[in-house]
Amino acid sequence: MADNQGNQLAKNYHLDNPQTSSQGSGGFFLKGAGHCDWGLQSRLARMFRPASGNTVMLAFDHGYIMGPTSGLERLDLVIPPLIPFVDVLMATRGALRSSIPPTQPKPVCLRVNYDSSVLYDDMSLGGGLACDIRNAVRMHADCMAVQTFIGAPGEKNSLELLSRTVDAGLDYGIPTLGVVAVGKQMARDEKFFLLATRLLAETGCHLVKSYYCEGFERVAAACPVPIVIAGGKKLPELDALLMCERAINEGARGVDMGRNIFQSENPAAMCRAVAKVVHEKHTAKQAHELFLNLCN
């Protein structure tokens, strides 16, 4: 019988022995995807640069619960200039169809669930499927994203939705991104992220979006698929870059970042600075210097 004691004793993360292509990844450069279908690997290889193994995903799906979020008031004006500097676009189908030219070349991670709006006290209640697999294929999605609410009242529904999305995606070689949501009453510590990220990976998703925390290296080591980190609320640029640097050094495979990019005083410069940290191992300080130079 499963219990909630065993994970409190977990300590053998083998941080000096990262999961490699010979350990469950079958020769593919991304952990956890070695035994996946060619088409699914091909889509992952469009999202994650094979040279660095990492990705810069631009998240601009905030409107699906927040409405016209600061910095995203006009998707059609804000997002297209940033596309050359990122690897993946993460958005709803409504944002893409209405505001992003289909001629743009970058892979798309499509948010396929809806949630309660920010007007509700408990966002975990009331979510469901916003876009089924047929429509995801029509949208030429390279990945589908589903929000999950681990430890909240909406946990069961969100895990059911994640499972069904993984099933549907596998029929078409489309990977699924499991998103770890953090609510007002939910913890944001290592213990929570260890549980949530591992749970999502074992439910079948091919990559996980979570948050940076103290002890992140253990979170990344215990999650058998790549983790990308969300940025969260807007920070000063140097602090956001420091968070990226720590996350990458501790095992994140990239970022899925929104507000710290589109709410920056110079979003394009911030994209380029983040990419230097994510793909070229620049320090936050070096990347911040680039940011300042580009601003000038």
As annotated, the active-site residues are 209
Nearest to 254 by CA among 244, 262, 246: 244
By CB under 6 A, is residue 230 in contact with ligand R5P? Answer: yes
By CB under 6 A, is residue 62 in contact with ligand R5P? Answer: yes
DSSP annotation of 6 reads H
Q: What is the Cα–Cα distance from 147 to 168, expressed in whole angstroms?
A: 16
By CB under 6 A, is residue 61 in contact with ligand R5P? Answer: yes
Q: What is the Cα–Cα distance from 124 to 191, expressed in whole angstroms?
A: 20
Region near ligand R5P per CB under 6 A, out of 15-23, 55-63, 96-104, 285-293:
55-63
Region near ligand R5P per CB under 6 A, out of 26-34, 184-192, 251-259, 284-292:
251-259
Nearest to 192 by CA among 31, 4, 16: 4
By CB under 6 A, is residue 179 in contact with ligand R5P? Answer: yes
DSSP annotation of 144 reads E
By CB under 6 A, is residue 257 in contact with ligand R5P? Answer: yes
Q: What is the Cα–Cα distance from 24 to 34, expressed in whole angstroms?
A: 7
DSSP annotation of 294 reads H
Which residue, 94 or 232, is less far from ligand R5P as judged by CB?
Answer: 232
Region near ligand R5P per CB under 6 A, out of 27-35, 42-50, 196-204, 226-234:
226-234
Do residues 212 and 247 lie in contact, with contact meaning Cβ atoms separated by under 8 Å?
yes
By CB under 6 A, is residue 107 in contact with ligand R5P? Answer: no
DSSP annotation of 62 reads T
Which residue, 59 or 152, is less far from ligand R5P as judged by CB?
Answer: 59
CA separation (Å) from 146 to 33, 113, 162? Answer: 18, 6, 6
Region near ligand R5P per CB under 6 A, out of 54-62, 129-137, 199-207, 281-289:
54-62
Size of the site for ligand R5P (CB under 6 A): 14
By CB under 6 A, is residue 278 in contact with ligand R5P? Answer: no
Measured from the CB of residue 67, what is the shortest distance to ligand R5P in angstroms? 11
Among 94, 173, 183, 232, which residue interacts with ligand R5P (rule: CB under 6 A)? 232
Which residue, 151 or 183, is less far from ligand R5P as judged by CB?
Answer: 183
Q: Which two tokens stand for residue 227?
A: 């983790």
Q: What is the Cα–Cα distance from 28 to 263, expressed in whole angstroms?
A: 35
Which residue, 34 or 175, is less far from ligand R5P as judged by CB?
Answer: 175
Nearest to 86 by CA among 226, 288, 268: 268
The contact set with ligand R5P (CB under 6 A) reads 59, 61-62, 65, 90, 179, 230-232, 256-260
